Amino acid sequence: MPWLSIALELDAAPAEALSEALIEAGALSVALEPAGARMRLEALADAGADAATLVAAAARAAALVVPAFTASRVEDQDWVRRSQSQFGPLRISDALWIVPSWHAPPDAGATVIRLDPGLAFGTGSHASTRLVLNFLEKNIQPGSRVLDYGCGSGILAIAAAKLGAGEVVAVDIDPQSLATTKANAAANDVEVRVEPPESLAVETYDLVLANILAGPLIALEPLLAARARPGGRIGLSGILAEQAAEVVAAYSSDFETSIGAVEEGWALVEGVRR
């Protein structure tokens, strides 16, 4: 099955806004990668989609001027070859690797998450994902209860399970992400409870993780605060460094919050529930 690939470059903040709007407008997946001082955005859509209509609708929803873009047809085999050439084993830390299925694990003694690029966000290559993975590795305890809110590919939920969590719940509003997380959890032989937000039980967790965007994270503060037990920790990412103080302020009424780390212009906000 062929695909339509749409590529463009924007500054970081509008690129993030447009990526969300493209998904809402009908794109099947969107990937963001640094391109010098800007961000390169590549979206995949059905081969029959009209690129100009899709980009214009997304720009209108994000309150942006319609950007210049290129569109091309990508065959299945070409997409697979491109993915395999771009994604190799990724070292998160001395003890944690993300490894695609077509590669052997570089370190037999490390914790390995098997993950292939697909139609849901989260391969470990983006700085925002790496920030949460490092936070998770430092803060998880054996038997921890973990909530991954906005699970995407399931990478954070799977990492939590592999690192010793006792129970892991993964939530996303996107049915494609829920299906992808289930498949990736099965491929990694770990147990993850996967469900949409409306099915999430009123329970509390030792660790609450969310790698989304600053705006949605601020709006989600009451919900995520209610899911963190007293003394529990929260790790938030998908936040541009210049937005981090706003997110810290939004969570400060319920958490002792701080900016935990910054990488490639992206920040992690972490906190302890009061």
Strands, DSSP E only, in the chain? 3-10, 29-35, 38-46, 70-74, 90-93, 96-99, 111-114, 145-149, 167-171, 193-195, 205-211, 228-240, 255-263, 266-273
Q: What is the CATH number that goes with domain 120-273?
A: 3.40.50.150
Q: What is the pLDDT of residues 85-97, one digit of tens each?
A: 556 788 899 889 9
Residue 5 CB partners (closer than 8 Å, separation 6+): 42, 43, 44, 71, 72, 73, 74
Q: Could you tell me the pTM of the whole model?
A: 0.75
Q: What is the pLDDT of residues 144-186, one digit of tens each?
A: 999 999 998 899 999 999 999 999 999 998 888 899 899 999 9
pLDDT band at 112 (very low <50, low <70, confident <90, very high): very high
- Range with lowest mean pLDDT among 17-21, 31-35, 201-205: 31-35
Question: Measured in whole angstroms, how far is the alpha carbon of residue 51 from the centre of its chain?
Answer: 25
pLDDT band at 76 (very low <50, low <70, confident <90, very high): low
Superfamily of domain 3-84: BMC (bacterial microcompartment) domain (3.30.70.1710)
pLDDT of residue 123: 63
pLDDT of residue 132: 96
Q: Looking at per-residue confidence, does 22 or 138 come out higher?
A: 138
pLDDT band at 57 (very low <50, low <70, confident <90, very high): very high
User: Taking all residues of the chain, what is their mean pLDDT, rounded to a whole number?
Assistant: 88
| 28, pLDDT greater than 80 | no
Q: What does the pLDDT average to over 15-44?
A: 82
Residue with tokens 């697909």: 118
| Domain coordinates in residue numbering, the chain | 3-84, 120-273
